[in-house]
A and B are shown apart, each in its own frame.
Chain A
Amino acid sequence: MSSALPFTLKGKTLIVTGASSGIGRQCAISCALMGASIAVFGRDEGRLNDTLQSMDDPEKHMSCAIDLLEYDMVGDAVREVVRQKGRIDGLINCAGISTTLPLNSITTQRIEHFLRTNVIASMNITRHAVKSAHFSLTGGSVIFISSVMGVAGENGKTLYSLTKGALVAAVKSMAIELAPRKIRVNAISPGVVESPMSRSAVYSRDAASLNKIQSLHPLGLGKVDDVANACIFLLSDASAWITGINLIVDGGYLAK
């Protein structure tokens, strides 16, 4: 590694999905501060624009209002990013949904919906992004936002866990397959982070539930910046020799 500033993202073009809110939004803002040019992906154009306006030098970036479940539209969207911004150096797969439901309520329809949203959609955009015609010829970094629920269990989290665990597993084989092209593939597994997703979760509905979930995190609940900073590391040249890992960012949740 020759860069004097190995953590910089200057000169890198990134795609961030789920950039309308929460972790994805903060990833876009933080990576822009570190010098990257970013294409923010999400369904709601208005909220994407809000994200853009919160980013350093908004004119340097672009937004793409798209429903990633419209699989056939994704290839064109990625091509448009390459046309406007040049080859892609990195991708953060943030878009996803969560739930807490007992096994009895996990119908095949719900399983399919969660697999489509949390797994298939991110695999699909990754497939398009890493094509030789689209990705940097000198390599880069792909990140999947998983969850501690991908490696640990919790009451009612079966559906969420099965999708997040799938990402952790897939990352390893993708890392092997793409290593010859110096494309690194890693997962980040956050614990509970204060975000719109967690604020609507069952453990946020009363003080007792919130205290319980906080007590499971020795460093307290996370902030979206904590995950965004981990993304910066995995996107930057500072992590040039790291691929196929699941970086746990959980305030100590799994340490016990």
Chain B
Amino acid sequence: MKDKLISALAEALEMDSSQIKIEDNFRDYDSYSSLTELSLLAMLDSDFGIEIEMKEFNNYKTVMDLVKLVESR
């Protein structure tokens, strides 16, 4: 699940998977923006069946947070 999440995150943020570290704050990536943020929400829905509101999404800070999210569902 972790590898799938990192791969999907890389795709959404147009990065190489190797650039993504589990402890990174994903909002610090150069390609992160209010628009790519919507890509992440869409990715969580389409790839992992997770629909969350922006308010809840704001609680997630690191790549690990997202890994835990997808593993918990």
Residues of A within 8 A of B (CB): 99-102, 104-105, 107, 109-110, 155-156, 202, 205
| Bound complex: CA A110 to CA B42 (Å) | 10
> B: which residues have CB within 8 A of A?
11-12, 14, 34-36, 38-39, 42-43, 46, 54
For the complex, what is the distance from the CA of A203 to the CA of B59, rounded to whole Å? 19
Nearest 10 Cβ contacts at the A-B interface: A105-B39, A102-B35, A156-B35, A205-B54, A105-B42, A102-B39, A101-B38, A100-B38, A101-B42, A104-B14
Q: Chain A residues near B46 (CB, 8 Å)?
A: 107, 109-110
B39 near A202 with CB under 8 A, answer no
Inter-subunit contact B54/A100 (CB<8 Å): no
Q: Tell me which of B14, B38, B46 has the highest count of chain A C-beta atoms within 10 A of its own C-beta.
A: B38
Chain B residues whose C-beta falls within 8 Å of the C-beta of A101 in the assembled complex: 35, 38-39, 42
Give chain B residues whose Cβ lies under 8 Å from the Cβ of A104: 11-12, 14, 36, 39
Interface centre among B11, B42, B43, B54 (most CB of A within 10 A): B42
Which of A105, A155, A202, A205 gathers the greatest number of chain B CB atoms within 10 Å?
A105
* Docked-complex contact A202 and B38, CB < 8 angstroms: yes
**Beyond known contacts A100-B38, A101-B39, A102-B35: 13 more, CB 8 A cutoff:** A99-B42, A101-B35, A101-B42, A102-B38, A104-B14, A105-B12, A105-B38, A105-B39, A105-B42, A109-B46, A110-B42, A156-B38, A202-B54
Q: In the assembly, what is the distance between CA of A156 and CA of B38, in Å?
A: 9
